[in-house]
Structure formats: C-alpha cells, structure tokens
DNA sequence: GCTTGATCTAGACCTCACTCCAGCTCGTAG
DNA sequence: CTACGAGCTGGAGTGAGGTCTAGATCAAGC
C-alpha cells in the first residue's frame, strides 16, 4: 500500500491484478497458457515481479479479450511478438481481422438493441394505455 | 421441401431450426430448460409442431441471447409471459435492464475498437516506414 | 520469534450453453 | 415392403475461460 510508482517499478501479482482487473488466478493462468510475451521475473523467494511492460501487454490483452478475442488468438499474437521483429505484417493482420469482428459485433448489437427497444416500446405503450389485451398470452 | 407458408403453418423442429438459426439440439434444449412460453404441440407420433407464435418468440430469444442475455433471464422472462397478463411492468423492467446492458456493451466495444485501431495504426506506420525498431521486443 | 497476509504449486473443479450419443420411432418416397 | 432421413428421449460429454483448494513458503510488522 502507498507504494510509489516510479515508472519502472516492479509489481507483485496482486498489484497487477488491481491495475488490470484480472484476478491473480487469471494472471497465473494466462502465464501458464503462454499469453505473456516474456517470462515473468521472480524474486529470490520465487514471487512474480511484473514490469510495466508486462502490465501494458496485459492491458492490451484485457481489451482484446473484452472484445471477444479468444485466448488462442491472444496466444498466437504473443508468440509473434516473442519471435521478435520481422513479422509485423502478421501481427497487423491478426489485429485488423479482429477489429473487423468487433465492428461486426457492434453492428449486431445495435440491431439487437433496436429489436429490444421496440419490444420495450410495446410494453411501455401497453402499460400507458392500461390493461388493453393479453399481449402475447398464448394461454388464451 | 417447397412447403407453402400459409401464415399459421405448423413447423417441424428442422424448419424452425432453419428459420431461427438455432440447432435442433438447441431447440430441444431450450424447451427442456423451460425457455418456451407454451408447451410445444406434438403430432400423434410425438413430433414437435411449432406455431408461428413459437417462432416469433424464438426469434426474440435469439436476439436477446445474441446480445448476451443469460438463459436464466430468458427463462424468467418466459415465466412472466406464461403467467399471463398483469406483470407487464416486470417484463418491461427485465427488457429495459437488458437494453441498458447492451448499451454498456456497445460503449465498451467501441472503446476496445479504438484501442485496437490505435495499435493497428502503430503497426501500419511501422510497416510503412520499413523496419525502424523492435516494436515491443522484450527479448532485446 | 510470532503472527498475518500475500504468494507459491499442481491439479481438481466450476459454469455456461450447448452438443452428441445410443437406441429407438415416424413417415415418406420408390 | 424397404430404406432412409428426420425426430424422439435421457443422459453424458465438450470447450472456453477461468476459479478454487490444499498445503507450503515468504516477507513485514510487532
């Protein structure tokens, strides 16, 4: 608590959890799954010490996951980065494909939203008029 | 094949699957889980016959699911409708809460999109300039 | 030194939303 | 009549994405 953040501070797993919104369980899980770019350094006592690098990467991961990128793709991306320079075109492709999926997802959600809004309108109107008729009452 | 659609046509499970995009497995599963409003009628031989009513309901269900409503909520909604008139306010509430979640989801996705787009831009620029430097290469 | 709380490991377990299977029946085309 | 595909049931299995447990260790404060 109250630890200064001097830019290249090493963080404990708990602190990283706090900053990324991932649970400590999830952080260890991601590491086991090879989703991190470099292996995490450890203290002499074996505790993980994350660099701001790791945290930045994790923050990107969180955004990608949040938008539905599967862990497998994340892992592939991490592997590309791990391989070092030279495959930027592949990384770009991976991200761009995902961006298109996100766009499609947004469009789909907007359509859902409008269907739901329409139905909400139906009920709202029904309520405003008082009990008019058994709205969709197949028991009738 | 080539069956006419005379508005109150009874449909087989396969036809409903086709029209809703749900698998026949999913349709039976939804029924077992109590997600349908009325019980599905059967032929003398025990085959399901869906009414256009059922199909409309399922189409709404699909939109709700697509936008992330859990099956449990869908079930609750179905129960409210099954109970008949009188609880429209509750139904409205349920839908409206969901609509708000969808709105939040859209906003979150838009934020993800912009993060991704930014990263895509970073790579694109890097590629346009030729190999400038090890973009995020922690092995260095 | 002792207590307390954060971390460690390996591995079991969980939820969700289906999906598939075995073994049977139905119904239509030839 | 025979074939064959579509449908039936109950229950087991799947895959993604974590979450939790047990039992031990580490590190900081008193």
pLDDT in tens, B85-100: 889 999 999 999 999 9
Domain of residue B62 covers 1-84
Phi-psi region of A136 (alpha: psi -120 to 50; beta: other; left: phi over 0): left
Instruction: Give yes or no: residues B77 and B100 share one domain.
Output: no
**Binning pLDDT at 50, 70 and 90, where does residue A133 land?**
low
Find the range with the poorest average confidence among A118-122, A127-131, B118-122.
Answer: A127-131
Residue A137 lies in a domain: no
Q: Is A29 near strand D, with its CB below 7 A from some atom of it?
A: yes
Residue nearest to nucleotide C6 (CA to C1'): A14
Question: Among A29-33, A122-126, A129-133, B119-123, which range has the highest average pLDDT?
Answer: A29-33
User: Chain B residue closest to A120 (CA)?
Assistant: B92
Please report the beta strands in A38-88, taking only residues with DSSP state E, as ranges in sequence order.
41-42, 48-49
Q: What span, in angstroms and rounded, lies between the C-alpha atoms of A72 and A70?
A: 5
SS3 A41: strand
Percentage of residues of chain B with pLDDT beyond 90 = 79
Shared domain for B50 and B102, answered yes or no, is no
| Cβ of residue A93 closer than 8 Å to a chain B Cβ | no
The CATH number that applies at residue A46 is: 1.10.1660.10
pLDDT of residue B83: 93
What is the per-residue pLDDT for A128? 87
CB contact under 8 A, B85 and A127: no
Contact B116 A91 (CB under 8 A): no
| Residue B126 banded pLDDT, cuts 50, 70, 90 | confident
Do B16 and B55 reside in the same domain of the chain?
A: yes
Tell me the two tokens of residue B114. Answer: 């912009």
Same domain, B77 and B98: no
B71 lies in the same domain as B99:
no
Kindly determine whether the C-beta of residue A10 is less than 7 Å away from any atom of nucleic acid strand D. Answer: no
Token pair, residue A59, equals 């923050």
Are B88 and A127 in contact by the 8 Å Cβ rule? The answer is yes
Q: Is A110 on the interface with B (CB under 8 A)?
A: yes
Residue B137 placed within a domain: no
Question: Does one domain contain both A64 and A6?
Answer: yes
Shortest CA distance from B106: residue in chain A: A106
A139 lies in a domain?
no
Domain count, chain A: 2
Q: Nearest nt to B49, CA vs C1'?
A: D7
Q: pLDDT for A40-99, tens place per residue?
A: 999 999 999 999 999 999 999 999 999 999 999 999 999 999 998 889 999 999 999 999
A45 CA → C2 C1’, Å: 20
- Taking only residues 25 to 44 of chain B, the set having a beta carbon closer than 8 angstroms to any beta carbon of chain A reads 37-38
Provide the number of CB pairs (under 8 Å) joining chain A to chain B.
Answer: 130
Closest of A84, A37, A83, A38 to residue A61, by C-alpha: A37
Instruction: Return the pLDDT at B23.
Output: 97
User: Which of B64, B84, B104 lies at the terminal end of a domain, its last residue?
Assistant: B84
Residues B38 and B5 in one domain: yes
Q: Are residues A77 and A18 both part of a single domain?
A: yes
Pick the closest to residue A11 from A58, A52, A50, A55 (CA basis): A50
The average confidence (pLDDT) of chain A is 89
Average pLDDT over residues A27-35: 97
Task: State the residue for tokens 């008949």.
Answer: B84
Which pLDDT band holds residue B131 (cuts at 50, 70, 90)? low
Pair B31, B98 in one domain: no
Specify whether A37 is located in the same domain as A54. Answer: yes
User: Does B140 reside within a domain?
Assistant: no
Query: What residue in A sits closest to B103 (Cα-Cα)?
Result: A113
A130 — pLDDT class (breaks 50, 70, 90): confident
Q: Quick check: is A69 in a domain?
A: yes
Residues of B in contact with A98 (CB under 8 A): 116
Chain B CB within 8 Å of residue A130 CB: no
Residues of A whose CB is below 8 A from B53: 138
DSSP sequence for A79-139: HHHHT-TT-HHHHHHHHHHHHHHHHHHHHHHHHHHHHHHHHHHHHHHHHHT-S-S-TT-TT
Q: Are residues A111 and A91 in the same domain?
A: yes
Do B20 and B80 fall into the same domain? Answer: yes
Is B3 within a domain? yes
Burial class (CB in 10 A: 0-12, 13-18, 19+), A137: middle
Within-domain flag for B13: yes
Query: Could you tell me the two tokens for B40?
Result: 């599905």
């Amino acid at each position: 608590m109250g630890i200064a953040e001097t830019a290249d501070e090493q963080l404990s797993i708990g602190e990283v959890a706090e900053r990324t919104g991932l649970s400590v369980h999830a952080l260890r899980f991601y590491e086991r799954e090879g989703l991190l770019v470099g292996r995490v350094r450890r203290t002499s006592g074996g505790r993980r010490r994350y660099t701001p690098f790791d945290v930045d990467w994790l923050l990107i991961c969180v955004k990608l996951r949040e938008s539905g990128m599967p862990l497998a793709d994340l892992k592939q991306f991490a592997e590309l980065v791990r391989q070092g320079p030279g495959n930027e075109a592949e990384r770009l492709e991976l991200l761009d494909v995902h961006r298109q999926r996100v766009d499609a997802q947004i469009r789909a959600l907007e359509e859902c939203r409008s269907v739901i809004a329409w139905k909400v309108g139906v009920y709202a109107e029904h309520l405003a008029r008082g009990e008019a008729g058994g709205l969709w009452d197949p028991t009738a």
